[in-house]
Amino acid sequence: MNRIEIVDGAGFSCAEGDTLLRAGLRAGLGLPYECNAGGCGTCKVELIEGAVESRWPEAPGLSDRDRRKGRVLACQSLPTGDCRLRLRLDPACIPEIRPERRKARLTGMADITRDIREFRFAAEGPARFRPGQYAMLSLPDGTERAYSLSNIANADGASHFQIRRVPDGRMTERLFDAAPTEIMLDGPYGLAHLQPGARDVVCIAGGSGLAPMVSIARGIAADPADARRVHFFHGGRTSADLPGEGWARTLTGLGDRLAYHAAVSDESVPGLAQGFVHEVLAAWMGDRFDNYDYYCAGPPPMIQALETLLVATKGLPAGRVRFDRFF
């Protein structure tokens, strides 16, 4: 166990094999982060004393300049002894549910589209997380990636994921070709989760960004006090990438309170809007942008286009638009 001190702030203990970020969050501290996967750079900290090993030295979240200045990514850093860090804690990052590592067993799988499959796992004890959060999944060989939960918190310990197969992807090829009967789950993580609100909700999923949007829609459906309607925009390259309206209505449990809007970018299909999902959203929305709160999940270029549309162009305040970037 290593002791980590934050200059002008709190301290916490970091267990063998744990990263600075996760140990800090497990201790209930608001360490800034987003992806937990080395991609975004939000978790950069300055290492004042001590040493760390990086799980991924080439992680794109850190520039050469950062490295020269002694900065490290807290999400990739395994301390090799006691450390002192300089960082600014953010109250918004204090975890409502502290993340935990647990073994989970595979209980089922089902194909959703030609390359998205739902993987169902169960662990001992209740599954506690907010709709829209994610967990880190590790295979027995130590390969680990972030995946959003598609179900909602439950007493049975069930955690469901909707995962897109990436050609030659280190994690997904193994999951799809020979899913292990047991994995390690670490979570929950993520700040782009469902919030209470008075406005109807727009969920925008691109590609593999389906799971957290399904979870958010399910979270609304499961709360008897929540009467919000959901507009579910789902973008794919072709119609084979989209599971369809009936699937979304049934799975989320929202019935007629869910309106499904499909967008295909590479194909012309009668009855389906053609274009990128942010273009289809803009065409449908007209001048009604202010009527909704927004949740968006998918690859970084899609999120960038949505951020430009919703925040930069339409001027929606950051608190009404939540982005989940899948690095």
Considering CB distances under 5 to 8 angstroms, the limit depending on partner class, which of ligand FES, ligand FAD, none binds residue 105? none
Shorter beta-carbon distance to ligand FES: residue 191 or 258: 191
Report whether 298 contacts 209 (CB < 8 A): yes
Site string for ligand FES, 47-86 (x = CB under 6 A): --------------x-----------x-x-----------
326 binding ligand FAD? (CB under 6 A):
yes
Size of site (CB under 6 A) for ligand FES: 13
Nearest in space to 94 (alpha carbons), one of 14, 26, 29, 190 = 29
Q: How far is the CB of 26 from ligand FES (least distance, A)?
A: 15
Shorter beta-carbon distance to ligand FAD: residue 278 or 325: 325
36 binding ligand FES? (CB under 6 A):
yes
Q: Which residues of 139-196 form beta strands (DSSP E)?
A: 144-148, 158-164, 182-189
Strands of 182-189's sheet in order across? 144-148, 134-138, 182-189, 100-111, 116-122, 158-164
How far apart CA 244 and CA 274 sit, in angstroms, is 15
Nearest in space to 257 (alpha carbons), one of 288, 211, 219 = 219
Considering CB distances under 5 to 8 angstroms, the limit depending on partner class, which of ligand FAD, ligand FES, none binds residue 132? none
42 binding ligand FES? (CB under 6 A):
yes
Shorter beta-carbon distance to ligand FAD: residue 6 or 75: 75
99 binding ligand FES? (CB under 6 A):
no
Considering CB distances under 5 to 8 angstroms, the limit depending on partner class, which of ligand FES, ligand FAD, none binds residue 41? ligand FES
113 binding ligand FAD? (CB under 6 A):
no
What are the residue ranges of helices labelled H in the chain?
Answer: 20-26, 64-68, 170-177, 210-222, 245-252, 277-285, 300-307
Q: Which of 2, 14, 31, 38 binds ligand FAD (CB under 6 A)?
A: 38
Q: Which of 14, 37, 220, 281 binds ligand FAD (CB under 6 A)?
A: 37
Among residue numbers 148 through 177, which ones bind ligand FAD (CB under 6 A)? Answer: 148, 161-164, 166, 169-172
DSSP SS3 for 5? strand
Strands of 258-264's sheet in order across? 273-274, 258-264, 230-236, 200-206, 292-298, 321-325
How far apart CA 193 and CA 205 sit, in angstroms, is 14
